[in-house]
């Protein structure tokens, strides 16, 4: 069951990434990016990294996407009234796939916990680290020691992107 869910979430992530690139309007690209990030959070849930899934939804699909939406609104890219998201049958299929993914994920979370607890293997080291440091400590320790420079560079890159968007919007008006 977990393999099926993984392939579904992976397909949605790849489809969302393609939709971001080929989307005709920035808002539709933003919606595709949210679908991609949400499916990535679903993959984190399958890997039993619930904290990472929550951070993925709260920080990326929530805060960063709102920031991108404000930048798009600030740039005022014009009004192209061509529809980017199809209606009718495509919307019905989308709701069906979403419902099926939700049902499979709910089944995995209820039945999968017992099945995954009996498997012993590479996850034992992670379980030991979780018991010693806790879920946040396991992530925070390497993030603020080994990966501190990439973490800070990502923050600076986002700041530069925001300042660039504001400069571009000021020149246009």
* Residue 47 shares a structural domain with residue 112: yes
Looking at the predicted structure, is the pLDDT value of residue 124 above 80?
no
Given this model, what pLDDT does residue 139 score? 81
Give this prediction's pTM. Answer: 0.52
Give the whole-angstrom CA distance, residue 143 versus residue 76.
Answer: 36
* Residue 107 shares a structural domain with residue 29: yes
Mean pLDDT, rounded, for 64-69: 76
* Residue 129 shares a structural domain with residue 113: no
* Residue 98 shares a structural domain with residue 128: no
pLDDT digits (tens, 9 = 90+) for 3-33: 888 889 999 999 989 888 888 777 788 888 8
Residue range(s) defining the domain that contains residue 147: 121-173
Radius of gyration in angstroms for the set of CA atoms belonging to the chain, rounded to a whole number = 20
Number of domains in the chain: 2
Q: Is 30 in contact with 67 (CB distance < 8 Å)?
A: no
Longest dimension (CA), the chain: 62
* Residue 7 shares a structural domain with residue 55: yes
3-class DSSP assignment, residue 121: coil
The domain boundary residue, chosen from 81, 99, 119: 119
pLDDT digits (tens, 9 = 90+) for 44-59: 988 888 888 888 888 8
Give the whole-angstrom CA distance, residue 67 versus residue 95.
Answer: 27
DSSP code, position 58: I
Give the whole-angstrom CA distance, residue 173 versus residue 109.
Answer: 51
Give the whole-angstrom CA distance, residue 17 versus residue 11.
Answer: 10
């Amino acid at each position: 069951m977990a393999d099926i869910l993984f392939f579904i979430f992976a397909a949605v992530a790849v489809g969302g990434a393609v939709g971001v690139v080929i989307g005709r309007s920035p808002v539709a690209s933003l919606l595709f990016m949210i679908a991609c990030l949400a499916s990535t959070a679903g993959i984190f849930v399958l890997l039993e990294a619930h904290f990472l899934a929550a951070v993925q939804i709260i920080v990326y699909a929530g805060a960063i996407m709102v920031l991108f939406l404000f930048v798009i609104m600030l740039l005022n890219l014009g009004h192209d009234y061509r529809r980017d998201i199809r209606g009718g049958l495509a919307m019905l299929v989308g709701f069906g796939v979403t419902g099926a993914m939700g049902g499979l994920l709910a089944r995995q979370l209820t039945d999968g916990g017992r099945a995954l607890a009996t498997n012993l293997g590479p996850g034992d080291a992670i379980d030991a680290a979780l018991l010693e440091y806790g879920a946040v400590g396991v992530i925070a320790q390497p993030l603020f020691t080994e990966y501190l420079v990439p973490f800070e560079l990502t923050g600076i890159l986002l700041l530069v992107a925001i300042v660039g968007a504001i400069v571009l919007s000021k020149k246009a008006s």
